[in-house]
A = this chain, B = another copy of it.
Amino acid sequence: MSGRYYPSPHPPPPRGPRGEGESTPLSAPGRGRASGTLIGVGVGPGDPELITLKGAEAIRSADVIFAPTRRAGQTSDALRIAEWLVDAARQQVVCIPFPDEANDDGWRQACDAIAAALDGGQRGVFLVEGDPSLYSSFGHVAKALAGLAPWLRVEVVAGVSSLSAAAAAAGMGLADGGERVAILPANHSLDALEETLRAFESVVLIKVGPVLREVIEQLDRLGLVDKAIYVRRCGRPDQQVVHDLRSLASKPPRDYFALIIVRRSGA
Q: A54: which B residues are within 8 A, CB to CB?
A: 47, 49-50
A side interface size, CB within 8 A: 91
A68 in the interface (beta carbon within 8 A): no
- Check A133–B21 contact: CB distance below 8 A: no
Are B49 and A168 within 8 A (Cβ)?
no
The residue on B at minimum CB distance from A238 is B17
Quick one: CB contact mask for A14-49 with B, threshold 8 Å, 1 for yes? 010111110010100000000000000010101111
Q: Are B243 and A1 in contact (CB under 8 A)?
A: yes
The interface of chain A, by Cβ under 8 A from chain B, is 1-7, 11-12, 15, 17-21, 24, 26, 42, 44, 46-54, 56-57, 131-136, 138-140, 142-143, 156-161, 163-165, 167-185, 187-189, 192, 199-200, 226-227, 229, 235-241, 243, 263-267
Other than A50-B52, A135-B177, A158-B167, give 10 A-B pairs with Cβ distance below 8 A. Answer: A4-B170, A4-B171, A4-B172, A48-B53, A50-B158, A51-B52, A134-B175, A139-B176, A158-B165, A180-B185
18 A-B pairs within 8 Å (CB atoms) are namely: A4-B171, A12-B241, A20-B48, A24-B169, A42-B160, A44-B158, A48-B53, A49-B53, A50-B53, A50-B54, A52-B52, A131-B164, A134-B164, A134-B175, A135-B177, A156-B167, A177-B185, A178-B185
